Chains A and B, each alone.
Chain A
Amino acid sequence: MTDTASKPGQTEVWITGIGLATSLGEGLDANWAALQEKRINVDEKGFAPYIVHPLMPVAFDSQIPKKGDQRQMEAWQRIGTYAAGLALDSAGIKGNKDILSKIDMVVAAGGGERDLNVDSGVLTAEAKGANAPGFLNERLMSDLRPTLFLAQLSNLLAGNIAIVHGLGGTSRTFMGEEVAGADAARIALARIASGESDIALVGGSHNGERKDLLVLYEFGDFNLKDKFAPVWARKDHAGFALGSAGAFLVLESKAHAEARGAKPYAKLSSVVADLARRKQPGDMAATLEKLWAKLPKREGKGAIITGATGAEPATSEERGFLKGHADFPVRSTGTVFGHAMETQFPLGIALAALSISRGALFPPNDSTGTEIEMQGAPTQIVVVGAGHWRGEGMALVEAV
């Protein structure tokens, strides 16, 4: 027995809270309204030639009341701590000490937000001849802010959420780009379904407005340059536009939710993930097919929400996979929100749950015909997340 797919357990798992802070705005109504209006928020100038989806400014004070807490975080942590607070609000458990003291957190995180001035200062000084053996040590000792480290550590997103919102259960941080978001949901679901946990906060956050990240992805020529286009229209102009976003979900056993009178947005029926070798063309599409087959039967009115990045060859492979399931209307979160890396999969689950709860899939936003209109209310939405380099995940979100 080697299947790591979380089986739809004895216990039904509901999504009872959603928190979103994105380039389209904060909260479910603002994001939903923007999706209806087909609004996209891109910055083509600030990081030119690179394109990013900047965070719509939020009043951090409303979820992170202490300025001291805000100062201890870098942007990615503030976005996440903020979105986590929205999710707790949405689930009606903000400040509920009994529940927060036992809630299990699984966070998908990157990290490493750097102090660009320190880095460029060192490189400039070295270019100008500083070459004493201890030069780097001395500059780092004097120039790095002591608390910056804590703003860089991956697990300190979870740490800040625990501190700011008073969470006292368990805390695990998964890393590994896109699929970390799928694995976070997969493990949280498996733990609740098996009775190991009653309630969990799951999600991630990402600051896409970072030149150090652009450098990292530029190594692989993954950044979208010059001109924005929907994900499906980037074949000859491949790449992703980094997006700033925080997306958190409260997952809860049906029994736990019912006992406290909480209403579900949807249920999370299954999350599966794998690592295609991606050595040969078709490897990734084959893995997506395998994951698709592992999901529970889809007999309802279905749709697909994908985090396809726009990077190649992954996006073309995924498009091939999607063509085999053309009866499912597709929506790309990458087009609208940009690529929020670890956060893209939780964002997809959030939008699936939101669409189901609002009785409609949001409209297409695509010039290539890959995304088609959907009539009626979706009852089953498959969330797809294939990493730009490695990692594939899939989830089934269903109407309760």
Chain B
Amino acid sequence: MTAPRDKFGRPVVVVTGMGIMTSLGAGKADNWAKLVAGESGIRTITRFPIDGLKTTMAGTVDFVSVDPFSSTALSERMAELVTQEALEQAGIGAKADFPGPLFLAVAPVEVEWPQRRELGRDVGQLDITYDDLLRISGGGKYSAYHHRFMFGSVAAHLAETFGTKGSPISLSTACASGATSIQLGVEAIRRGETDAALCVATDGTVNPEALVRFSLLSALSTQNNPPQAASRPFSKNRDGFVMAEGAGALVLESYEAATARGAKILGVIAGCGELTDSFHRTRSSPDGKPIIGCMNKTLADAGMTPDQIDHINAHGTSTPENDKMEFNTTSAVFGELAQKIPVTSNKSMVGHTISAAGAVEAIFSLLTLEHQRIPPTINYETPDPTILFNVVGNKARDARVTAVMSNSFGFGGQNASLILTREPA
């Protein structure tokens, strides 16, 4: 490792700390062990009643408790825990004094049903309208709910806890949010605004209404039994994604700053790219051009060619449309290499952590680089004959991995890709 700048003259951006939490467990060690062992974190939901739901399983994080419970509070707590892990590893700054900005991918925030029901009970009559709710909402009794359900509340809490600098940015690019948070950090360092950035992504939104919303869009798997077999990316009988919770945190630094303080370098964010699809709110353009463009932009940003990518950490949601589209677009970019490069989907085990997925999967990609071992895509029993990826099916595979492309595609035409490498190019 010699180059503090990349071939375009920009500061090289490296990762010096990572923290992760998924339905598999807390922390890198536990997650990695279970991931390469092919364990599933998907289980039947116990957090709330599942009567009347078409989908009754998810990758919930049940081992973290918050009180009073809300999805936003869970998201905040998970973000806090993974950030602690990442900062401990990075050993950067001082306690509550992180020397750079925060970029937080977080699910959109709103008042949730437990709180709404509490208001309803407080109204104390049989017919309840929003005017009744309004009448009893003021006076300070519920002031904590104002803070809790501000969109900026999670970021404000993290910024105050960890002492990040400047205005923390809360962002949403739907299922690409985690990747976007990393991209914002990379850009800030490349522009020379900062030597370090904290990129966090979190999602704790397995609640009844969120589940129903995705269900009504026919996006979720309904193969509830057994829950562990529901998420089956690239399989012929895949029928939707599985909602999941999780969080990931990455400490990004310029190569120069990291080496100057003797930090251990865990990997390099060699390239980022994004491209909007204006075809439809939930569906990709049938010609796949925006996704193709996204991958090409990312390769160009990294100054790399397709033959330099030796592993793809796929978006691989297990929806009929995504996985097929991902193969077609990858083929357009990689040609025949698309059938040779080992491809895997972490979502087969941890489910789709939505706003957190881009960061969670970037961390799994970096761990893949570290261990030179590719985690499997489980439930790969009946390959889809039209998806000719070299899927790392069911069993982890040792492999020489120097550069990973990690893809994230989301509702609203959001496409983002990252290229992660072991060392600066």
Contacts and interface: CB of A to CB of B under 8 A. Distances in A.
Interface stretch (B76-84, B147-155, B390-398): B147-155
A128 B49 contact: no
B281 A156 contact: yes
A356 interface: no
B170 interface: yes
A390 B156 contact: yes
B225 to A, nearest CB: 18
B152 A136 contact: no
B130 A212 contact: yes
A170 B212 contact: no
Given A163-B278, A179-B152, A215-B111, A275 B49 contact: no
A105 B274 CA distance: 11
Given A1-B194, A4-B193, A137-B50, A153 B108 contact: yes
Nearest to A221: B138
A163 B152 contact: no
Interface stretch (A30-38, A79-87, A117-125, A347-355): A117-125
A393 B156 CA distance: 15
Contacts of A273: 166-167
Interface stretch (B333-341, B376-384, B408-416): B408-416
Interface in A348-400: 387, 389-393
Interface in A185-209: 186-187, 190-191, 194, 196
A136 B280 contact: no
B99 A137 contact: no
Interface stretch (B121-129, B228-236, B239-247): B121-129
Contacts of B49: 133-134, 136-137
A331 B417 CA distance: 43
Contacts of A306: none
A154 B108 contact: yes
A126 B117 contact: yes
- Determine which residue in B51, B180, B278, B414 has the highest number of CB atoms from chain A within 10 A of its CB, and name it: B278
A212 to B, nearest CB: 7
Contact of B126 (A124, A136, A182, A390): A124
- Determine which residue in B149, B160, B172 has the highest number of CB atoms from chain A within 10 A of its CB, and name it: B172
Contacts of B195: 1-2
Interface string B172-203: 11100000100010011001111110000000
A296 interface: no
Contact of B173 (A128, A155, A190): A155
- Determine which residue in B53, B108, B142, B144 has the highest number of CB atoms from chain A within 10 A of its CB, and name it: B108
Interface stretch (A15-23, A108-116, A260-268, A317-325): A108-116
Nearest to B211: A137
A160 interface: yes
Given A2-B165, A124-B126, A133 B51 contact: yes
A175 B172 contact: yes
B216 A141 contact: yes
A241 interface: no
Nearest to B130: A211
Contacts of A392: 167
Contacts of A222: 146
A111 to B, nearest CB: 5
A26 interface: no
Contact of B274 (A1, A114, A136, A171): A171
B217 A146 contact: yes
A175 B125 contact: no
A146 B168 contact: no
Interface in B42-87: 49-54
A174 interface: yes
B191 A175 contact: no
Interface in B102-139: 106, 108-111, 113, 116-117, 119-121, 123, 125-131, 133-134, 137-139
A158 B151 CA distance: 17
A3 interface: yes
B106 to A, nearest CB: 7
A153 B167 contact: no
A177 B50 CA distance: 34
Interface in B9-60: 49-54
- Determine which residue in A4, A112, A167 has the highest number of CB atoms from chain B within 10 A of its CB, and name it: A4
B154 to A, nearest CB: 9
B159 interface: yes
A150 interface: yes
Contacts of A171: 173, 274, 276, 412-414
A144 B209 CA distance: 9
A149 B213 contact: yes
A273 B193 CA distance: 13
Contacts of B134: 50, 211, 214-215, 218
B171 A123 contact: no
B413 A174 contact: no
A137 B138 contact: no
A112 B128 contact: no
Contact of B278 (A109, A133, A168): A168
Nearest to A179: B167
Contacts of B209: 140, 144
Interface string B308-343: 000000000000000000000000000000000000
B167 A274 contact: yes
Nearest to A150: B281
A392 B159 CA distance: 14
A219 B145 contact: yes
- Determine which residue in A167, A175, A275 has the highest number of CB atoms from chain B within 10 A of its CB, and name it: A175
20 contacts: A1-B194, A123-B120, A134-B50, A140-B209, A149-B217, A150-B281, A170-B275, A171-B414, A172-B173, A172-B180, A175-B106, A175-B152, A175-B172, A176-B155, A190-B187, A190-B191, A211-B130, A211-B133, A275-B159, A275-B167
Interface of B: 49-54, 99-101, 106, 108-111, 113, 116-117, 119-121, 123, 125-131, 133-134, 137-140, 142-147, 149-152, 155-156, 159-160, 165-174, 180, 184, 187-188, 191-196, 208-209, 212-217, 274-282, 290, 410-414
**CB-CB nearest 8 A-B residue pairs:** A134-B51, A159-B412, A176-B152, A4-B166, A220-B146, A273-B167, A123-B120, A133-B49
Given A137-B52, A219-B138, 6 more contacts: A144-B213, A163-B413, A220-B146, A221-B140, A275-B160, A389-B146
Interface of A: 1-7, 50, 72, 105, 109-112, 114, 116, 119-120, 123-124, 126-128, 132-138, 140-141, 144-146, 148-150, 152-156, 158-160, 162-163, 166-177, 179-180, 182-183, 186-187, 190-191, 194, 196, 211-212, 214-223, 273-275, 277, 387, 389-393
